[in-house]
Amino acid sequence: MKKILLTLLFIFLALPASALMLQGNAEFNAEMAREEVFNNIDYALGPNAFRDYWQDPNYVANYAAASNGKNKLHNRYIALFSDGTYGIRYDNDPFHNYYYDGQGLLFKVDVLNKPFNVYPHKSVAYNKYGAFKNATFVVSKTEQYLYDSNKKLMGHWIGNACYDEKGNVLMLRKNID
């Protein structure tokens, strides 16, 4: 009887530890992220897939808000990048990010395999005609690995800075919350 009680006690004490290990976050390096992001992606979409977004319908309001450090408007989030481009994510569309140049013209769209706030996820970027541009493995809200069409690491976002393989800052952003 004593053996049975000790066995049950051991099992009972081991269960919470097992559950805790299953919930832990996985860590990724650049190679693991590359393998994951290029696994089973579409390299082209239809040429008119993003036609409704070719020009930012709220260009003046979006660019003014981003330039003034405001990253949230009533139905969308905005990120401003150090090269003068900006990104928009609409509240009702957690699977797409739209990127515009300084004149409000679309140059790429991210298509996410999970909602933007579920990590990790992959984000495949297409130009405005639906041709593959690059891919990003989003580890967390503060870390992403960006790869070009040849699967070469283009940059590693940590927080609001993107670094090359040598640790040089490539770009900065005022982050989307």
Please give the backbone phi and psi of residue 163, each rounded to the nearest 5 degrees, phi first.
-115, 150
Whether 156 contacts 48, CB under 8 Å: no
Q: Indicate the DSSP class of residue 104.
A: S
**pLDDT attached to residue 133:** 95
**pLDDT attached to residue 175:** 65
Q: Cα angle at 145 between 95 and 20, to 5 degrees?
A: 80
The three-class DSSP label of residue 84 is: coil
Residues of the chain with pLDDT under 70: 1-27, 175-177
Q: Regarding beta strands 72-73 and 76-81, do their DSSP bridges make them parallel or antiparallel, or are they unpaired?
A: antiparallel
**pLDDT attached to residue 14:** 37
**Predicted TM-score (pTM) of this structure:** 0.78
**pLDDT attached to residue 9:** 33
**pLDDT attached to residue 176:** 54
**pLDDT attached to residue 36:** 82
How far is the C-alpha of 29 from the C-alpha of 51, rounded, in Å? 36
**pLDDT attached to residue 39:** 82
